[in-house]
Amino acid sequence: MTTGECELRLLGLWLSPFVTRVKLALTLKGLSYENVEEDLSNRSELLLSSNPVHKKVPVLIHNRAPVCESIVILQYIDEAFASTGPSLLPSDPHERATARFWAAYIDDKLVVPWVHSFRGETEEVRSQGKNQMLAAVETLEGALRECSKGKPFFGGDGVGLVDISLGSLVSWVHATEVMSGMKIFDPAKTPLLSAWMERFDELDAVKAVMPDIGRMVEFKTGQAEALAAAAASQS
């Protein structure tokens, strides 16, 4: 199933993992959409009117009605297009709550300290951010073991909300390794996540929408500023 012309419009930024989340969900669902690249130094009137509170991306406009915040958008897509493509959330209420918990954990305990590890004003703050980020990765290793129950993804046999939330960061994981040599998903320490990332990378939907790693590495403002821009794309 595809949507009608301009029925779905995504306001985004190419390097933002939050925008990538929405692209992944739409692609997995088999939904067509218009991608509108925003310049956050000169926000469009459409973005300002669609997200007057935060004035940030992503914003998904469906039949002229805007939906903001990446995790909220993912759940909206799953509900609004329930009969289209695979479900992003399980039907069991407890499993749905668990998926929402880990999606929130990724933003709060992984993304936030990751940004601090680059943007921290002092070496101590940056070091603390790095340690907190790596601790979160180890916690997610255990979460994958429990959620997947031996299956390929957090969502089981197929990609779900948690896979998309974490998977949207995979290009940054690869780019960080190229630029700094640091393995965030280290096969020696987090073998399940390392294997999960390899499987995730090979999905057609992922290949279709993930930012180009070479372009990310070459981004002129440098790693810290690029990651800061991506992280600041959404509150």
In a shared domain, residues 122 and 64: no
Integer Cα distance of 154 and 60 in angstroms: 25
Please give the pLDDT value at position 149: 92
What was the pLDDT predicted at 2? Answer: 45
What is the tens place of the pLDDT at every residue in 18-45?
999 999 999 999 999 999 999 999 999 9
Label residue 234 by pLDDT band (50, 70, 90): low
Residue 24's CATH number: 3.40.30.10
Give the torsion through C-alpha atoms of 228, 50, 66, 103, to 10 deg.
20
The CATH number for 191's domain is: 1.20.1050.10
Whether 144 and 73 share a structural domain: no
Residue 164 to residue 225: CA distance in whole angstroms? 24
* Nearest of 144, 200, 192 to residue 169 by alpha carbon: 200
Domain boundary among 28, 53, 81: 81
In a domain, 163, yes or no: yes
Does residue 89 contact residue 75 with C-beta atoms inside 8 Å? yes
The reply to whether 135 and 46 lie within a common domain is: no
Same domain, 203 and 145: yes
Range 128-133 contact pairs with CB under 8 angstroms and sequence separation of 24 or more: 133/184
Domain enclosing residue 133, as ranges: 93-214
Instruction: Let me know if residue 76 belongs to a domain.
Output: yes
Are residues 62 and 148 part of one domain? Answer: no
Cα distance between residue 194 and residue 204, in whole Å? 19
Whether residues 76 and 112 share a domain: the answer is no
Domain identity same for 137 and 189: yes
pTM exceeds cut of 0.85? yes
| Residue 20 covered by a domain | yes
pLDDT > 60? residue 77: yes
Task: Kindly tell me if the per-residue pLDDT of 102 is higher than 90.
Answer: yes
Statement to judge: residues 41 and 100 lie in one domain: no
- If you average pLDDT over residues 55-67, what whole number do you get? 97
- Residue 72 covered by a domain: yes
Asked if 105 and 169 sit in the same domain, the reply is yes
Decide if 224 is inside a domain: no
Q: Are 77 and 25 in contact (CB under 8 A)?
A: yes
Query: How many helices, marked H, and strands, marked E, lie in the chain?
Result: 12, 4
The least confident of 24-33, 93-102, 128-137, 214-223 is 214-223
219 found inside a domain: no
Q: Do 65 and 33 fall into the same domain?
A: yes
Domain count, the chain: 2
Over residues 83-104, the mean pLDDT reads 97
Which whole-number Å values give the CA distances from 74 to 40, 60, 89, 135, 162, in the listed order?
22, 10, 9, 26, 10
